[in-house]
Structure 1
Amino acid sequence: MQFPESWLRAFCNPPLSSEALADTLTMGGFEVEERRPAAPPFTKIVVGEIKEAVQHPNADRLRVCQVDAGQGAILNIVCGAPNARVGIKVPCALVGAELPPGADGKPFKIKLGKLRGVESQGMLCSARELGLSDDHGGLLELTGDAPVGADVRDLLQLDDVLITIKLTPNLAHGLSVYGIARELSALTGAPLQTPAIEPVQPQLDDKLPVRVEAADLCGRFSGRIVRGVNTRAATPAWMVDRLARCGQRSVSPLVDISNYVMFEYGSPSHIFDLDKIHGGLTVRWGRAGEQLKLLNGNTVTVDEQVGVIADEREVESLAGIMGGDATAVSDDTSSIYIEAAFWWPAAIQGRSRRFNFSTDAG
């Protein structure tokens, strides 16, 4: 289980240093296997806004950008990123900045220089150049409300610490940030902050019929229909960042929300494209020979020892483990069915290994 310390402290914030907090968890049975910074060291990198971007006179792949970095004067910076355009805010390394060490282990220092005859007064940075991810397809675009000139380390909380806990099988309640916060509160006496979650009143009377045939597989199955969703919306940057610090890449808004709730509260869920479900759903044990193409692209064959969710035509999901490709949400999805169920642990354990993969939900 990997998570950022700042997320844990949002629920329980004892007066302990980062190291002492890790020691407390370890002595409480939650072995902290690793602590590492959210980002490698770098200096003098601030928020810059591109005010102008024109073609370099001597290079097809370069642009000359006028950048407001909050320094009192507009900076002239040559940039080769394909997404360098007017209006976006990006990390700007000022002259004298030090970027994270490269392959040689030495920091990369930014100096005043010329690129193909044009002076460059700094450098606009990608996520990879800051050591935040392997993405080097373009500049790291910051949110529109990022204050020009603000220190990027402070803005993105890059001095946060990522904690990895090695859990034993009897500590499954530690597979969520809130679950670990409960333990930390019990160990230290620091108050546990439990956010109020107000019930969402339904605006629709629509229901999807669900039949649970196997009570030894599923103790409770609940779901809700939501219509008019916009799957092309952007996941908020703060959610993308928290997921990334849990080792989870951003996929799409619906998938990201589902994953976020799982990491925060330990409650896996699954989102179906409602229009791809034929009739209702049946929760049952599999039947010998039934096949299912999963979201990871694999096609598996189930039997009577594997729980499934099926519609009137075919199996649509491996119960509690992974959804199927046939009912997956896409950019064209407009109506969804959100499922949240309690699966008996004995009905889930070991099933993923049969198919040579594991999932966070499982």
Structure 2
Amino acid sequence: MRVPLSWLREYVDLPAGETGRDVAARLVRAGLEVETVEQLGGDLKGPLVVGEVLSIEELAGFKKPIRHCFVNVGDANGTGEPQEIVCGATNFKVGDKVVVVLPGAVLPGPFPIAARQTYGHTSAGMICSARELGMGDDHHGILVLESHLEPGTDAVELLQLVDEVLDIAVTPDRGYCLSMRGVAREAAAAYGLPLADPALLDVPPANAFGYPVKVADPVGCDRFVARTVTGVDPAAPSPIWLQRRLQKSGIRPISLTVDITNYVMLEVGQPLHAYDRSRVDGPILVRRAEDGEILTTLDGVKRKLSTEDLLICDNSGPIGLAGVMGGATTEIVDPVLDPETGEVTGSTEIVIEAAHFDPVSVARTAKRHKLPSEASKRFERGVDPEATRAAAQRAVDLLVLIAGGTAEEGVTDIAAPHPVRTITIAADLPDRVAGTGYGRETVTRRLQEVGCSVIGADVLEVTPPSWRPDLTDPYDLAEEVIRLEGYDNVPARMPNVPPGRGLTEAQRFHRRTGVALAAAGYVEINAYPFLGEAAFDALGLAKDDPRRRTVKLVNPLNDEEPALRTTLLPGLLGALRRNIGRGNTDLALFETGTVFLPKPELSVAPRLSVEHRPTDAELAELDAALPDQPRRVAVALAGERLPSGWWGKGGPAGWADAVEAARTVARAANIELTVRQAQHAPWHPGRCAELLVNGRVVGHAGELHPRVVKALHLPDRTSAMEIDLDALIADGVQKVSGPGVSAYPVATQDVALIVDAAVPAAEVESALRDGAGELLEAIRLFDVFTGEQAGEGKKSLAYNLRFRAVDRTLTADEASAARESAVAAATARTGAVLRGV
């Protein structure tokens, strides 16, 4: 909402020295979001005056039209003589009143003006367009003023070129601030000044002579006011003050009737619609659309209507989408000049509609037809239903005043009964919420400034005003008191933390996971949790893959990504691709976050009351309606893992680095991870590792499939890992302690075993570890050999075993016995044969 300061002063008598920034600071303190304060005409300097065109000489011989003019500027030039000006515009004639800037002046830009020789003549000034004056983007021709203005009149004041405009970002709960009336109310409260409410007008009562209207859907439309004005002069232009206020508010002037409806909407907050009565066929009917109905809206688009759309109709059918946009068949006809007779034809009989529509219905219709408008923006946030009569009266008064129309005596006012909303609030509730003492008198005064009626002492009965549909419970009222008293006056106190609380073991583990991966050289990212079928196709997932079963959003940010993720890989690989596209070739990324797995049976979450804390049963019902949300961690690597340099060639990232990342996560949980070969999309079938804990699969790691790499435009050999953190610690988080340090020497033993090629190395290692017993400190696979010496279908695995005791030096016999026990266990479980035996 753009709020000109000069217009705001009409409703609140602000101190003379208050600047736009001062007012913005007060409004921000009251809880409004003032984004900018625009200075209009800050670099404008006169003389800038009204001029009358006395003569025009068309100069020939140039590529574009050039006119040599003499203009009467009164005494503004100091001589009273006509001003000689050369101009290239052709939309003005002799006798027109125009805006003239004289030498020595400065136009917005800044653009200084001086007399100069051009096209063989002296041009002592300039005849201005609206854009040159900073009045908008219209640069199609010269700005022609009203004919009654006197030459030499100061145009700066006439056109209100110097002003300040506050740009306010209105939040959805403060729809009343999408009007000068609403912002003025906030300014009046912020300064402690009275408000001149523009909606306080004398309005005649409803009678039987008004334009006939029938409301078939009182839920969708609970208030409809119609007024008629006849004898409107179609040639009457919008006065300068009206056009300037619209321009400063960000609305382009169109025609007098349309400008008036827009002006009243900005002033009072009530959207209006004007119909050409001669084009309306019979009574007006408000109803829901029927199947197959079509409406051509004012933008010229034919729209297929939904049965949920609320319509304004006449005997011919739909003539408008209620609260969104009118129809083309009844729009106000633009004035047309007959060149032969000089007469102007256009709409002369106007029906003004001021109605109150259901916010949800308007919002859904605007979204369904992708047709946001200034009217729908206000209706869907909540409009004051009691302002309809005043808004219609204001529009009628302006049409009578400016266009010479006559207001008909008939007044149509159809209103559905409205129950009175009363909220009971303890007088000390704002004190308890803010942790400070306001007192009953302050609470009552602030609520009355909002527009509430308040009765009572210790317990207050509060009736919110009709323009505040957002005030529904005691805490809304407490917030109003606190914000008007100033959020900066709320004392800052640290909360008392009860003893014995802190992070859970699972939370500590999640933190350790991130720290461990960051220490290993990975960079954390946070991707959007949304995806579509294209992401699954790129990963090469089968049609029946359970990861394709997703939770879909009713209101997605992007129609192509309507589902919540079931895997972290699409977002992680997308971030990898974007970084590579920007020249970062060596990358190691990780992300921790939840995935969303739908439950077999779909249930709907209940709507809980805000009047009390949910019961355990209600909380259980909420949890049952939610999808499963396990926490996972994933990594992605591309490029060099060890950088190249003067010291030599680096090492590329590969599947082994992805597996090691999984081991890093497992070490953070103090859990032993088993790794074995597997096949699982989107990994390469020959370079994919399955990650297990106690025989339970918790994730996968390895090199991505070449088809996936190609589909996602990633470098060759890109590797990734994804592991389920909740499954990893399903048996509980093991407390992590520092490694023990023994003062006794280590005993090292090597062992080489021949096994079948199909036997996983992890299985052999597990057997060796179990057989070696508690003296085994570490085990490492350092060689894998296949060939004739190993035998056909066989492979040789060489392990380094480290033995150490914490209380003594091991003897050679003890180390050898432990080694033999490890080999025996491997032989029994895997059929291994000691190499060389």
Q: Could you tell me how far apart the structure 1 residues matched to 2:52 and 2:363 are?
A: 52
1:14 counterpart letter in structure 2: L
Q: Could you tell me how far apart the structure 2 residues matched to 1:269 and 1:259 are?
A: 7
Q: Hey, what does 2:67 align to over in structure 1?
A: 62
Q: Hey, what does 1:340 align to over in structure 2?
A: 354
TM-score, length-scaled by structure 1:
0.90
Select the residue among 156, 159, 162 that pairs with 1:159: 162
Is the Cα contact below 8 Å between 2:136 and 2:247 reproduced in 1? no
2:321 counterpart letter in structure 1: L
Residue 278 (str. 1) matches residue 281 (str. 2): yes
Per-residue CA distance 1:267-324 (angstroms, 9 max, x = gap) = 1111112222222122111122211000111221112211111122311111111110
Q: Hey, what does 1:350 align to over in structure 2?
A: 364
Higher relative contact order (CA 8 A, sep 6+): 1
Per-residue CA distance 1:2-41 (angstroms, 9 max, x = gap) = 1211111110133233212101111212110121123462
Q: Hey, what does 2:582 align to over in structure 1?
A: none
Largest Rg, 1 or 2: 2
Residue 77 (str. 1) matches residue 77 (str. 2): no
Q: Could you tell me how far apart the structure 1 residues matched to 2:280 and 2:148 are?
A: 40
TM-score, length-scaled by structure 2:
0.41
Cα deviation for residue 343 of structure 1 reads 1.1
Q: Could you tell me how far apart the structure 2 residues matched to 1:225 and 1:146 are?
A: 32
Cα deviation for residue 156 of structure 1 reads 2.3
Per-residue CA distance 1:97-132 (angstroms, 9 max, x = gap) = 23333xxxxx43322222222222222221222232
Q: Hey, what does 1:104 align to over in structure 2?
A: none
Secondary structure of the 1:223 match is strand
Secondary structure of the 1:333 match is coil
Is the Cα contact below 8 Å between 2:77 and 2:102 reproduced in 1? no
The 10-residue stretch of structure 1 (210-219 or 69-78) with the greater mean CA deviation from structure 2: 69-78
Residue 252 (str. 1) matches residue 255 (str. 2): yes
Per-residue CA distance 1:71-111 (angstroms, 9 max, x = gap) = 2322222222213433333222222223333xxxxx43322
CA gap of 1:225–1:52, structure 2 versus 1, over 3 A, is closer
Q: Could you tell me how far apart the structure 1 residues matched to 2:121 and 2:40 are?
A: 35
Q: Could you tell me how far apart the structure 2 residues matched to 1:305 and 1:99 are?
A: 52
Q: Could you tell me how far apart the structure 1 residues matched to 2:101 and 2:176 are?
A: 43
Secondary structure of the 2:315 match is coil
Q: Could you tell me how far apart the structure 1 residues matched to 2:171 and 2:152 are?
A: 46
Is the Cα contact below 8 Å between 1:67 and 1:76 reproduced in 2? no
Q: Hey, what does 1:243 align to over in structure 2?
A: 246
Is the Cα contact below 8 Å between 1:231 and 1:252 reproduced in 2? no
2:97 counterpart letter in structure 1: K
Q: Could you tell me how far apart the structure 1 residues matched to 2:145 and 2:13 are?
A: 28
Q: Hey, what does 2:705 align to over in structure 1?
A: none
CA gap of 1:200–1:238, structure 2 versus 1, over 3 A, is farther
1:95 counterpart letter in structure 2: P
Cα deviation for residue 49 of structure 1 reads 1.9
* Aligned-pair Cα RMSD in Å: 2.3
Secondary structure of the 1:138 match is coil
Is the Cα contact below 8 Å between 1:222 and 1:339 reproduced in 2? yes
The 10-residue stretch of structure 1 (347-356 or 240-249) with the greater mean CA deviation from structure 2: 347-356
Is the Cα contact below 8 Å between 2:133 and 2:161 reproduced in 1? no
Q: Could you tell me how far apart the structure 2 residues matched to 1:57 and 1:328 are?
A: 42
Q: Hey, what does 1:9 align to over in structure 2?
A: 9
Cα deviation for residue 327 of structure 1 reads 1.1
Per-residue CA distance 1:162-207 (angstroms, 9 max, x = gap) = 11111111101111001111111122211112355233699x9854
CA gap of 1:44–1:279, structure 2 versus 1, over 3 A, is closer
CA gap of 1:40–1:125, structure 2 versus 1, over 3 A, is farther
Secondary structure of the 1:183 match is helix
Per-residue CA distance 1:136-166 (angstroms, 9 max, x = gap) = 2222223445454444333322221111111
The 10-residue stretch of structure 1 (22-31 or 45-54) with the greater mean CA deviation from structure 2: 45-54
2:307 counterpart letter in structure 1: E
Name whichever structure is richer in helix by fraction. 2
Q: Could you tell me how far apart the structure 1 residues matched to 2:231 and 2:50 are?
A: 36
CA gap of 1:333–1:144, structure 2 versus 1, over 3 A, is closer
The 10-residue stretch of structure 1 (268-277 or 210-219) with the greater mean CA deviation from structure 2: 268-277
Q: Could you tell me how far apart the structure 2 residues matched to 1:276 and 1:28 are?
A: 47
Is the Cα contact below 8 Å between 1:217 and 1:344 reproduced in 2? yes
The 10-residue stretch of structure 1 (89-98 or 176-185) with the greater mean CA deviation from structure 2: 89-98
CA gap of 1:55–1:350, structure 2 versus 1, over 3 A, is same
Select the residue among 26, 29, 32 that pairs with 1:30: 32
Q: Could you tell me how far apart the structure 2 residues matched to 1:232 and 1:64 are?
A: 27
> Any stretches of 5+ residues in structure 2 without a counterpart?
336-345, 377-837
